[in-house]
Structure 1
Amino acid sequence: MSMSVTQQKRNDAAESSLRDLFARFESDGSAVEVNFRQLLSSDGGTSKSAHGIHPYPAKLLVNIPQFFLAAIPTVAGSALLDPFCGSGTVLYEGALAGLRPIGSDSNPLARLITQAKLTPIDREVARRQLDEVMAAYPLVSPTIPDVVNRDYWFSERISDCLGRLKTAIECSVSAQHRPVFDVSFSATVRRVSYADPRLSVPVKINPDRSARYGAKGDEVIRRLGRLAKIDVGAVFWSITNQNIQRCLELGQGFVLDQPEIFSDARSLGLADASVGLAITSPPYVGAQKYVRASSLSLGWLGLTPDCKLRPIEQQSIGREHLTAKEELAPSGTGLAEADCLLDEIVERNPLRARIAQRYLLEMRDALSELSRTMRHDGRLILVVGPNLVAGLEFPTPLFLQKIAESFGFSTQLHLIDSIDSRGLMTKRNRTAGLIQQESVFLLKRVRAGA
């Protein structure tokens, strides 16, 4: 993939900025405050690119991977790993930069969105298949999978329409184009549900509480009236048509067979020392409710057998629901500072202490696996923010930095970026607080891990 003059100038500017940041960090060892939006402006509207194909909570600011991919020299076709890939922001940007994207996420919807972003399509064929879906849709029998509380979230008419769309997609769309069609179907599901569109986790619109909706309350309530007569097929057609345009054309962008996307960051199917660059933003302690936020889509996609979300949630690092067997480990986390803090948290809220300890233990496993896969001198960009646990400051960045260093990484740079009203600035548990800034570490793999 050849580089344009504009892209070369952009890379040169990013490399110069990174050298300056290194110098400032090395001068006193303190974290350097940056604004990634100003450091490197995004090279294109994300809503018009594949980043806009489906909503997803707490997306990583696209400027961060764009900056490091521009600033760090890479070899075309080399591996880029994101073990907590979410909806594929890092991997899509890496693929555009000519790298081979490898990802992992415990949420099946996240994996589907990432796959759709990384699968180039034949737009002409995809549009013909969309026409076939729309022709078949009124005539086929509906396929209604297990959807949690389906009657609560959808009218019977809308459920019937969605079921017919699902059948038509399964009958008319080729394997090459299924990811973009399935993602579009998922986005349609949320669009025609009774869920408040302003919130990531589904909350049903309640006309009796219109006063609580603020300035846009009337608009939210009017949505219920529109849903009574909404054309579900037309919504799906519009979303799919836009997404076909957003996805890369086969043969015109990056070329992949099937993207490598795993389901567990603690068990990557990769060879030892096979990755030279990793960029990732792990989940937080008491993570956002990614599975609950995805619940309607997961159900309609047929990914919640017997209407159960818990089996998927149990695979998530940072989850808030633990099994009875997941008690506090008496051996601790291996970090003295963390264990002392957890002792304080136990006194305030034993459950939050269990959640926080389990998070650190599972992140230790994930960072150990990441260390195994990375080459000597490989670079890891780790993006993570602090928060509160049971009302106490929980310095997640410090803890993860120390765990990474125990597995052979050396901190080369520490940046702090303020979060300015983006999806990550979300209240999770009432004692968790808001995440208002995040640390960005650049770490180098320098020795065998512990």
Structure 2
Amino acid sequence: MTNALAYKKDFAFNAICPYYTMFPLEYPMRIMRKHRANSPVVVDPFCGRGTTIYAARRLGLTSFGFDTSPIAAAIAQAKLASAGLDEIVELGRALLAKKPKHVPNSAFFNRAFSKKTLTQICSLREGLLAEERPSHASALLRASALGCLHGPLITGEIPSYFSNQMPRTFSSKPAYSVKFWKERDLYPPDVNIIDVIKKKLARITDLESYPFGRLSNVKCSDARSSDSYRNIRSASLIITSPPYYGMRTYVQDQWLRMWFLGGSEDVDYEVDEQICHSSHQGFILDLARVWKNLAKRSENGAHLYVRFGTLPSAKSDAKELLLGSLEEAERWDLISVRNADTAHAGKRQADQMGQDSAPSEEFDFHAVLS
């Protein structure tokens, strides 16, 4: 997909932080262009890294998004921020000027980052965590730091990531990482993190474009809860991709970014505030709660577009699950179901994680509120 928007510099903002379950930017852009003349209010109740939010920004539309993952919410919120590169860099340098109160001293952290780099990361982390309310500059600084926190070792004057050799889309677990580095005699780069962040942000051409929405339009919240929709009055276009049945490790697979946002230095395997994955019926009922909440906050005739599939390892039928949830929600009339190609298309999860297993089949569902 060499012609995909993901590879074009004009859309580098959407890749401010790699996130391994995003759908391709082409999907929401195509739908929004179709409805753009009506100036729709766009909502994504499973916003992930904010691809729908960014597409709305590019097309001059107001959007709202929710996600239960703090990492996803932080990245998506940055898609509603506007600030100059100099302002962001100045904030970062101010936060680095203060010595951190705590620096992790585990085998993982000591081999993942150089001593100087880890100290800087901790200063930035503590400074951002101390904020009572994020500014546009801090939202962009936070998202770019998350994007640079770990990734492959790339030769060059200024590295692209802070860490020793790691995947860029998910965080490898501590014991595995340390063993991997020791076996290959790999050491982290000694970098100034502001230089790395500045390198990433300098590629983004629309940092200061008008964002068409407040930072508070994106929340770390549960789409099954009616409270998440409090600020939405008349949604008219919903574009989303719920977690596939059996996918329960979003936070665990992002544990290092979770630490940067205030989480534990160790992997937390507790699974909270996620859609039910213990049974097909429980999953259907939880999805239906989301569609019901959206119906209450949407105008008649609102359009719902859902990209949904199955994991190769999960014994489930994507059509059965999604159609069952719409039937349970009652007010959404199905218009069409189309094959959306495979999960390899558009830099999807299986491709980014380097898996050899067959990708999942995905479908695009379209429904209208009656």
TM-score of the pair, normalised by structure 1: 0.66
Q: In 1, Cα distance between the equivalents of 2:134 and 2:48? A: 25
Mark the runs of 5 or more structure 1 residues left unpaired by the alignment: 1-36, 211-220, 320-353
**Are the counterparts in 2 of residues 415 and 439 from structure 1 also a CA contact under 8 Å?**
yes
**Structure 1 188/49 Cα, relative in aligned 2: closer, same or farther at 3 Å?**
closer
- CA-CA distance at 1:440 after TM superposition: 0.2
**Are the counterparts in 1 of residues 224 and 293 from structure 2 also a CA contact under 8 Å?**
yes
Residue 196, structure 1, aligned to residue 166, structure 2: yes
Mark the runs of 5 or more structure 2 residues left unpaired by the alignment: 151-160
Q: In 1, Cα distance between the equivalents of 2:6 and 2:268? A: 37
What residue is the counterpart of 1:397 in the other structure?
Answer: 319
What residue is the counterpart of 2:38 in the other structure?
Answer: 75
- CA-CA distance at 1:132 after TM superposition: 4.1
**Are the counterparts in 2 of residues 123 and 245 from structure 1 also a CA contact under 8 Å?**
no
What residue is the counterpart of 1:436 in the other structure?
Answer: 360
**Structure 1 43/182 Cα, relative in aligned 2: closer, same or farther at 3 Å?**
closer
- CA-CA distance at 1:293 after TM superposition: 2.0
Count of aligned pairs: 345
SS at match of 1:380: strand
**Structure 1 141/209 Cα, relative in aligned 2: closer, same or farther at 3 Å?**
closer
What residue is the counterpart of 1:270 in the other structure?
Answer: 230
**Are the counterparts in 2 of residues 281 and 383 from structure 1 also a CA contact under 8 Å?**
yes
- CA-CA distance at 1:201 after TM superposition: 4.3
**Structure 1 171/110 Cα, relative in aligned 2: closer, same or farther at 3 Å?**
closer
**Structure 1 132/92 Cα, relative in aligned 2: closer, same or farther at 3 Å?**
same
What residue is the counterpart of 1:101 in the other structure?
Answer: 63
1:331-342 correspondence runs (5 A)? none
**Structure 1, 159-168 or 293-302: larger mean CA deviation:** 159-168
In structure 1, what residue type is equivalent to 2:34? A
In structure 2, what residue type is equivalent to 1:416? N
Q: In 2, Cα distance between the equivalents of 1:247 and 1:427? A: 25
Residue 177, structure 1, aligned to residue 134, structure 2: no
- CA-CA distance at 1:154 after TM superposition: 3.8
1:345-356 correspondence runs (5 A)? 354-356=278-280
1:372 to 296, 299, 305: 296
Q: In 2, Cα distance between the equivalents of 1:372 and 1:43? A: 34
In structure 2, what residue type is equivalent to 1:184? S
Q: Percent of aligned positions with the same letter in both sequences?
A: 19
Q: In 2, Cα distance between the equivalents of 1:289 and 1:297? A: 14
Q: In 2, Cα distance between the equivalents of 1:389 and 1:192? A: 33
**Are the counterparts in 2 of residues 385 and 439 from structure 1 also a CA contact under 8 Å?**
yes
In structure 2, what residue type is equivalent to 1:118? L
TM-score of the pair, normalised by structure 2: 0.79
**Structure 1 357/439 Cα, relative in aligned 2: closer, same or farther at 3 Å?**
same
In structure 2, what residue type is equivalent to 1:373? R
Residue 300, structure 1, aligned to residue 286, structure 2: no
- CA-CA distance at 1:196 after TM superposition: 3.0
1:164 to 120, 123, 131: 123
- CA-CA distance at 1:65 after TM superposition: 0.7
- CA-CA distance at 1:381 after TM superposition: 0.4
**Are the counterparts in 2 of residues 161 and 232 from structure 1 also a CA contact under 8 Å?**
no
- CA-CA distance at 1:372 after TM superposition: 2.0
- CA-CA distance at 1:163 after TM superposition: 1.8
Q: In 2, Cα distance between the equivalents of 1:388 and 1:409? A: 28
2:275 to 313, 317, 320: 317
Deviations 1:395-430 (CA, angstroms, capped at 9, x unpaired) = 1233212321442111212211212353333799x9
In structure 2, what residue type is equivalent to 1:142? P
Q: In 1, Cα distance between the equivalents of 2:268 and 2:325? A: 31
SS at match of 2:38: coil
Residue 90, structure 1, aligned to residue 52, structure 2: yes
- CA-CA distance at 1:207 after TM superposition: 4.3
In structure 1, what residue type is equivalent to 2:215? Q
Deviations 1:238-264 (CA, angstroms, capped at 9, x unpaired) = 2244226527344x4334333412311
**Structure 1 143/317 Cα, relative in aligned 2: closer, same or farther at 3 Å?**
farther
In structure 2, what residue type is equivalent to 1:314? D
What residue is the counterpart of 1:239 in the other structure?
Answer: 197
Q: In 1, Cα distance between the equivalents of 2:213 and 2:6? A: 22
Q: In 2, Cα distance between the equivalents of 1:44 and 1:187? A: 16
- CA-CA distance at 1:270 after TM superposition: 3.4
What residue is the counterpart of 1:410 in the other structure?
Answer: 333
**Structure 1 198/310 Cα, relative in aligned 2: closer, same or farther at 3 Å?**
closer
Q: In 2, Cα distance between the equivalents of 1:130 and 1:239? A: 9
In structure 2, what residue type is equivalent to 1:84? F
- CA-CA distance at 1:282 after TM superposition: 0.4
- CA-CA distance at 1:74 after TM superposition: 4.0
Q: In 2, Cα distance between the equivalents of 1:168 and 1:387? A: 39
What residue is the counterpart of 1:186 in the other structure?
Answer: 146
Q: In 1, Cα distance between the equivalents of 2:34 and 2:180? A: 51
Residue 55, structure 1, aligned to residue 18, structure 2: yes
Select the structure of larger CA radius of gyration: 1
SS at match of 1:86: coil
- CA-CA distance at 1:442 after TM superposition: 1.2
In structure 1, what residue type is equivalent to 2:326? A
Q: Which has the higher helix share?
A: 1
Q: In 1, Cα distance between the equivalents of 2:100 and 2:311? A: 45
Q: In 1, Cα distance between the equivalents of 2:336 and 2:366? A: 5
**Are the counterparts in 2 of residues 88 and 117 from structure 1 also a CA contact under 8 Å?**
yes
1:141 to 99, 118, 128: 99
**Structure 1 435/102 Cα, relative in aligned 2: closer, same or farther at 3 Å?**
same
**Are the counterparts in 1 of residues 63 and 213 from structure 2 also a CA contact under 8 Å?**
no
**Structure 1 200/46 Cα, relative in aligned 2: closer, same or farther at 3 Å?**
farther
Q: In 2, Cα distance between the equivalents of 1:416 and 1:71? A: 19
Residue 381, structure 1, aligned to residue 309, structure 2: no
